[in-house]
Amino acid sequence: METIKLDIVSGDYQNGIKEAAHILKKGGIVAIPTETVYGLAASAYSDDAISRVFKAKGRPQDNPLIVHICDMKMLEKVATDIPDEAYALAEKFWPGPLTMVLKKSDSVAQSVSAGLKTVAVRMPEEKAARDIIEKSGLPLAAPSANVSGSPSPTTAEHVISDLDGKIDAVVIGNGCKIGVESTVLSIFDGKASILRPGAVTAEEIEQLLGKVDVDKAVLEEPKSSEKVSSPGMKYKHYAPKTETFLVEGSIQAFVNFVNKKDNALAICFEEESHLISSEKIVYGEMSDKKTLAHNLFSALREADNFKKESIYIHAPDKAGVGLAVYNRLIRAAAFRVIKL
Ligand code: AMP
Ligand code: MG
C-alpha cells in the first residue's frame, strides 16, 4: 500500500485537512499530529477501521484506544453519565493533554475500548487534529502512531520510519510541542486516579479536585497475574533495542559511574554533559522537565544508532512533569533501575 503524504506545513493546509477527513470517512487510517505525540487515527464508530489500526501497529488486542474529540457535543456522543468533575476538568484543561476515562456510550465501537465498559476521551490542543475531527464529523480513536513497543513518534519522520506502507496517509505537520502522551485520569464515584502521567500534572489536577491517586502501575512493573486499571501499562514500551538502564543519583555520582563504563552511551543532562567522556545524547537541563519530556522519545530513537553495548539514562526527579518522564524511562529500561 502506498502511504499518501499530506504536508500541511509546506503544502496546502486546507487541502491536507480535507483529504485526511475524506480518507477517515471512507474507513481509512491516517497518522495525524497532536501536541503530545503523532496519533494513528480511525473512526471511533467503525470496528473495521479500528482493527486496521491494531494490525498496522501490532498492538495487543486488549489495549484500548483514546478517542479524540473537537467539542463538548462530541463528548456527549461518546460518553454517558459524565460526572461534574469531568466538566470542570474539561473547562480547565481542554483542549489539551488530559485524557479522561468515562462511561462508554453504545455508539463507540467495542474494539476501541477492548471490551471495557469505559472509554478514554481527549480534546487535543493541536489545531490540525481538531480541524480533521471537525471536517470528518467523527470522533477519532488514535493510539500513538508507532509500531507497538517502540518509542512514541514526535515527528512525521518517526511515523514514516515505523508505518510507511502500512497506513493510508500521514499528515505532515509541525513537531509535537509536548512530546509525551497525555495524562490518563479515571474518575469514578468521585475518586480520581492517574493511570498514566503526562503534561497535565497530579499537582495541577489536585488544585481542582483535591487529592488524586497515582495508580501503582505508573512506577512499578505489574505482575503478569495482576489486573491493571490501564491495560497499556503492562506492556513493554518505548524501548531501544540496546540494553538500557535508568540511573538515579546526583550529577557527580552519574558522571563517575558512567565514565567507568566501556562501550556505553549516556543519555544525560545539559549540566553534566561536558564531564562525561563516553558518547552521549543530551536531553535537556536537569530541572527543565518540559524540555526533557519534549526530547525524550527522539533521544530513545536515536540511541540505537550509536551501536553501543548498553545505554545509561540519568533520571530526573519525579515532581511535576518529571513523573511522566520517569514513567516512560522506567519502561524504556524494562524496570532496570540503578540507584547510586
Ligand atoms: P496510547 O494510545 O499509546 O496513547 O495509549 C493509550 C493509553 O490509554 C493506554 O495506556 C491505555 O491502556 C489507556 N486507556 C485507553 N482507554 C482506556 C480505558 N477505557 N480505561 C483505562 N485505560 C485506558
Ligand atoms: Mg502508545
Q: Whose CA is nearest to atom 2 of ligand 1?
A: 143
For the chain, how are helix, strand and coil distributed in percent, rounded to 5?
35, 20, 45
Note whether residue 237 is domain-resident: no
Instruction: Give percent of the chain above pLDDT 70.
Output: 99
Q: Are residues 183 and 73 in the same domain?
A: yes
Q: What is the pLDDT of residues 157-189, one digit of tens each?
A: 999 999 999 999 999 998 899 999 999 999 988
Identify which of 105, 26, 15 has the alpha carbon closest to the alpha carbon of residue 67: 105
Structural contact between residues 96 and 200, judged by C-beta atoms closer than 8 angstroms: yes
Note whether residue 214 is domain-resident: yes
Helix (H) or strand (E) holding 254: helix 251-259
Structural domain that includes position 286: 243-339
Residue 195, pLDDT score: 96
pLDDT surpasses 80 at 232: no
Note whether residue 29 is domain-resident: yes
Strands 279-282 and 337-339: unpaired
Cα(67) to ligand 1 centroid in Å equals: 10
For the chain, how many structural domains are there in total? 2
Q: Are residues 175 and 285 in the same domain?
A: no
Identify which of 232, 239, 241 has the alpha carbon closest to the alpha carbon of residue 54: 232
181 CB less than 6 Å from ligand 1?
yes
Identify which of 133, 136, 103, 134 has the alpha carbon closest to the alpha carbon of residue 120: 103
* Number of the ligand 1 atom closest to the C-alpha atom of 65: 15
Residue 145, pLDDT score: 98
The secondary structure of 146-211 as a DSSP string is: S-TTSPPP-SHHHHHHHHTTTSSEEEE-PPPSS-SPPEEEEEETTEEEEEE--SS-HHHHHHHHS-
Helix (H) or strand (E) holding 54: helix 47-57
Residue 175, pLDDT score: 85
Note whether residue 238 is domain-resident: no
Residue 22, pLDDT score: 98
Cα(144) to ligand 2 centroid in Å equals: 4
Cα(185) to ligand 1 centroid in Å equals: 10
* Number of the ligand 1 atom closest to the C-alpha atom of 120: 16
* C-alpha dihedral, 13 to 18 to 19 to 22, nearest 10°: 160
Q: Are residues 62 and 172 in the same domain?
A: yes
Mean pLDDT, rounded, for 79-108: 97
Cα(130) to ligand 2 centroid in Å equals: 20
Note whether residue 55 is domain-resident: yes
pLDDT surpasses 70 at 63: yes
Ligand nearest the Cα of residue 327 is 1
Residue 311, pLDDT score: 98
CATH of the domain at 291: 3.40.50.11030
- Residue 124, preceding bond cis, omega within 30 degrees? no
pLDDT surpasses 70 at 229: yes
Q: Are residues 153 and 66 in the same domain?
A: yes
Mean pLDDT, rounded, for 213-233: 81
Q: Pick the last residue of a domain from 203, 218, 233.
A: 218
Mean pLDDT, rounded, for 331-338: 95
The mean pLDDT of the chain is: 95
Note whether residue 229 is domain-resident: no
Residue 188, pLDDT score: 87
Q: How far apart are CA 244 and CA 294, in angstroms?
A: 20
Q: What is the pLDDT of residues 31-46, one digit of tens each?
A: 999 999 999 999 999 9
Q: How confident is the model at residue 82 (pLDDT cuts 50, 70, 90)?
A: very high
Q: Are residues 163 and 197 in the same domain?
A: yes
Residue 91, pLDDT score: 98
Residue 225, pLDDT score: 65
Mean pLDDT, rounded, for 89-96: 98
Q: How far apart are CA 284 and CA 23, in angstroms?
A: 38
Q: How confident is the model at residue 223 (pLDDT cuts 50, 70, 90)?
A: confident
Residue 236, pLDDT score: 67
CATH of the domain at 195: 3.90.870.10
116 CB less than 6 Å from ligand 1?
yes
Q: Pick the last residue of a domain from 185, 218, 251.
A: 218
Residue pointed to by grid coordinates 468515562: 102
Identify which of 273, 268, 265 has the alpha carbon closest to the alpha carbon of residue 304: 265
pLDDT surpasses 80 at 285: yes
Q: Are residues 84 and 143 in the same domain?
A: yes
Cα(159) to ligand 2 centroid in Å equals: 12
Residue 173, pLDDT score: 97
325 CB less than 6 Å from ligand 1?
no
